[in-house]
Amino acid sequence: MGYRYAITYGKPSEYLMGLKPEERAKAFEKHKEKAAKYGVKVLFYGHPWGTSESIVVVYDSGESIDNYSKFVSSPETYEDIPYTEGRTNLVIELMWT
């Protein structure tokens, strides 16, 4: 058992803020597609409650948290990442039996 989920909080990037509202959904779809190339699934994104950040993205790294690490450290990801100043909580899924 290891870390599988990553919950990332951030502030909107200049890239995202420069888009019209209807273009922002497309930007997140592109982000999802890039994540999938690394074996990472974007489960959902939205606005967090009770934090100073205004974006939250929840990732499932699949078999290994290394997938998430490779994804977020890839220069390809930096081109149009939808948030800045990200901070991430890693989560282990507990299996109670």
Does residue 32 carry a pLDDT above 90?
yes
Residue 97's pLDDT band (boundaries 50, 70, 90)? low
pLDDT at 85: 92
Give the DSSP H or E segment for 88: strand 83-92
Does residue 42 carry a pLDDT above 70?
yes
Task: Name the CA radius of gyration of the chain, rounded.
Answer: 13
Q: Which two tokens stand for residue 32?
A: 């999802």
Sequence spans of domains, the chain: 3-87
Mean pLDDT, residues 23-45 taken together: 93
The predicted-structure confidence for 43-95, as pLDDT tens digits, reads as follows 999 999 999 999 999 999 998 899 999 999 988 877 778 889 999 999 987 77
Confirm or reject CATH 3.30.1330.10 for domain 3-87, answering yes or no. no
Q: Percent helix, strand and coil across the chain, each rounded to 5?
A: 35, 35, 30
